[in-house]
Each structure stands twice: as structure tokens, then as C-alpha cells.
């Protein structure tokens, strides 16, 4: 665990909105393509410059993402926005590249064999190889790629995940040349001390390659984990508007950390995110109406602070 003196508050982090993909993928009721594009446009208007817009996976397994190509066709042409498409294999990568809209492929490796099998039908080592192949394919096609290590902080089937396993995977994937590597708490079991320790370790060993973090708020440790991560060296943070989200293949996984709650916390603490909080709150209210229910995010339900002059 890093000593308190090893922690430092960054001036800036890079924000990634993942609501259109990770936020929506677990919803049973199909959201219209138009509403998905409206959510993406609201994220852009709120300042998001990296957005996970969809995933190119088997529609039989994840029906909510069956309109990936249609969502991409409606994306505004913005040179200043990086559109990320999540892919699990070569077929998904080829679909993403064929849209001509996806700037960056997001690959996924999984830290344990049981979860890798449930999520993508392969062993953990095979998922590392698949991620490396996706990164190579993206580069050959003039795109960038990044990789998320799912279940970095715990597995729904196997329990504890050793730090050294996550580090070993991160180093193996880093060799393939991704723009960053993310550690994901897919099922929301991490605590801030664990997060600080693992992020500091991976950050130190991977050198200049940025570390992104992806937290789910299943046990209400999400925001604390974001803070632990950014003060331990993570420079990129995933979040979803309203705190929507879950994983179809991870029993009991709840939503992502809410974008507006993350932005409120970081900006109040002096960490700039490039995001407009009021726009995010309005987007969260809009999304709540679309979903027909209250969303988990708390800042959008609270009075504004500080009060407008």
C-alpha cells in the first residue's frame, strides 16, 4: 500500500463516458437507436471527448447492442471526439472498422479463467492473446486500441484475484502497443486500499503507458475507488451518465460510477475533467425519463452546490 506521502492529487484527468455501451447493455427493454444517439450527443455537449458508443458482439448474447452499425452511422463527424467500440474478437473488430466511424477499438481481457469463459468463451490467457490480436488489427487498419482487464479486483466465480496476475496481464498486453490499459472492477468488490495498491503497482511497472480505471458501484465503494485510483496514478476514468450499467455475464453487477457524481467529486477537489456538470445533470434527468425510473446517481437528485450567484 502506498504511504500517504506517495499519493498526489492530479490537476487533470481524462474522462470517458461509457453509458451508451456499458450503461445500456444490461437493460432488458430495448432502447431505440435514436435515444442511444441522443445520449451520445448529450455526452459530447457536456464535454466528453472519448465515448464508448457501442459494442460489436453477438446480438444473440447482448440484444441491446444489436444496432451497433446503426448507432455508428448516426454519429456526428467530430475530429475532436474519439469514438470507442468494444470488441471481443476479430469478427467484432472487423465490424467496428467497417463502420468507418469507430476511432478506437476497446478489447477486453479477463483476469480469471471462470469469468473469461462466461464472458467470452475462452481462458484468461486466451483472452490476453485475443486482446493483443485486436490491438494489432486496429493498428494495421490505422485505428488505435486499448484494453480493459475485467475482474481486476475480484471475480464473481473465483473470488480474490492476485495483484501479480493483473500486472502480468497488463505487461503482456502493453507489449502489443495499446494507447492505455484499464483495470476494471467489473463486479464492484474493490476497496480504496486495494485500488491504490494495484493502480500504483501497475502504473509503476508500465512506465509511461496511461492507466484507465472502470468501477462499478455494486457495494457503494465506486467513488472512493475513483479517488484512490486517481491519487495513485490513474489518469483516465470511465463513468456512465446516471450510474446506469451492469454486466450480463457477471451475477449481481450493478451500475457504473455515475458520470455526474464523479465529475462533481473531482472538480470540487480541484481535478479538472473537461466536463460541464450542469449539462451532465440535465443529461441524467433526460436519461431517467427515457428509462422510466430513478437512476442511481445522487448528484442529479441533490440541490445544486454552490448555489448560482
Which residues are designated catalytic?
A: 247
Distance CA 156, CA 4 (A): 31
Which residues form the interface with Zn ion (CB under 5 A)?
A: 22
Q: With respect to Zn ion, which residue has the nearer C-beta, 110 or 130?
A: 110
CB 2 within 8 A of CB 232: yes
Q: With respect to Zn ion, which residue has the nearer C-beta, 2 or 17?
A: 17
Question: Minimum Å distance from CB 240 to Zn ion?
Answer: 8
Report the 10 Å Cβ neighbour count for 202: 25
Q: With respect to Zn ion, which residue has the nearer C-beta, 2 or 297?
A: 297
Cβ burial, residue 177 (10 Å; 0-12/13-18/19+):
middle
Question: Minimum Å distance from CB 277 to Zn ion?
Answer: 23
**Closest residue to Zn ion, Cβ-based?**
22
Question: Minimum Å distance from CB 156 to Zn ion?
Answer: 13
Place of cell 445500456: 24
Q: With respect to Zn ion, which residue has the nearer C-beta, 2 or 156?
A: 156
Backbone angles phi, psi at 80, to 5 degrees: -90, 5
Distance CA 254, CA 15 (A): 20
Question: Minimum Å distance from CB 90 to Zn ion?
Answer: 22
Distance CA 200, CA 289 (A): 40
Residue 161's SS3 state is: coil
Place of cell 441522443: 38
CB 14 within 8 A of CB 237: yes
Question: Minimum Å distance from CB 48 to Zn ion?
Answer: 17
Which DSSP helix (H) or strand (E) runs through 227?
Answer: helix 222-230
Q: With respect to Zn ion, which residue has the nearer C-beta, 2 or 258?
A: 258
Place of cell 480474490: 160
Amino acid at each position: 500500500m502506498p504511504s500517504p506521502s506517495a499519493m498526489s492529487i492530479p490537476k487533470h484527468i481524462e474522462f470517458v463516458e461509457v453509458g451508451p455501451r456499458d450503461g445500456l447493455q444490461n437493460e432488458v427493454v430495448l432502447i431505440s437507436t435514436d435515444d442511444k444517439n441522443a445520449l451520445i450527443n448529450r455526452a459530447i455537449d457536456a464535454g466528453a471527448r472519448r465515448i464508448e458508443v457501442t459494442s460489436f458482439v453477438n446480438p444473440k448474447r447482448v440484444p441491446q447492442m444489436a444496432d451497433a452499425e446503426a448507432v455508428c452511422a448516426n454519429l456526428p463527424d467530430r475530429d475532436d471526439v474519439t469514438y470507442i467500440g468494444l470488441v471481443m474478437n476479430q469478427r467484432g473488430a472487423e465490424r467496428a472498422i467497417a463502420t468507418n466511424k469507430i476511432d478506437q477499438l476497446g478489447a477486453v481481457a479477463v483476469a480469471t479463467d471462470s469469468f473469461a469463459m462466461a464472458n467470452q468463451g475462452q481462458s484468461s490467457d486466451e483472452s490476453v492473446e485475443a486482446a493483443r490480436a485486436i490491438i494489432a488489427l486496429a493498428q494495421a487498419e490505422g485505428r488505435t486500441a486499448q484494453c480493459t482487464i475485467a475482474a481486476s479486483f475480484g471475480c464473481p466465480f473465483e473470488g480474490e484475484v492476485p495483484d501479480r496476475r493483473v500486472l502480468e496481464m497488463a505487461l503482456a498486453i502493453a507489449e502489443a502497443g495499446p494507447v492505455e490499459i484499464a483495470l476494471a472492477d467489473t463486479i464492484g468488490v474493490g476497496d480504496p486500499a486495494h485500488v491504490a495498491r494495484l493502480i500504483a503497482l501497475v502504473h509503476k511497472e508500465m512506465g509511461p503507458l496511461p492507466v484507465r480505471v472502470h468501477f462499478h458501484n455494486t457495494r457503494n465503494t465506486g467513488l472512493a475507488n475513483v479517488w484512490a485510483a486517481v491519487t495513485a496514478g490513474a489518469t483516465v476514468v470511465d463513468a456512465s451518465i446516471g450510474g446506469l450499467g451492469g454486466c450480463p455475464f457477471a451475477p449481481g453487477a450493478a451500475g457504473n460510477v455515475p458520470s455526474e457524481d464523479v465529475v462533481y467529486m473531482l472538480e470540487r477537489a480541484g481535478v479538472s475533467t473537461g466536463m460541464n456538470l450542469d449539462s451532465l445533470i440535465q443529461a441524467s434527468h433526460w436519461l431517467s425519463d427515457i428509462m422510466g425510473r430513478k437512476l442511481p446517481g445522487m448528484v442529479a437528485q441533490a440541490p445544486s452546490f454552490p448555489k448560482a450567484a
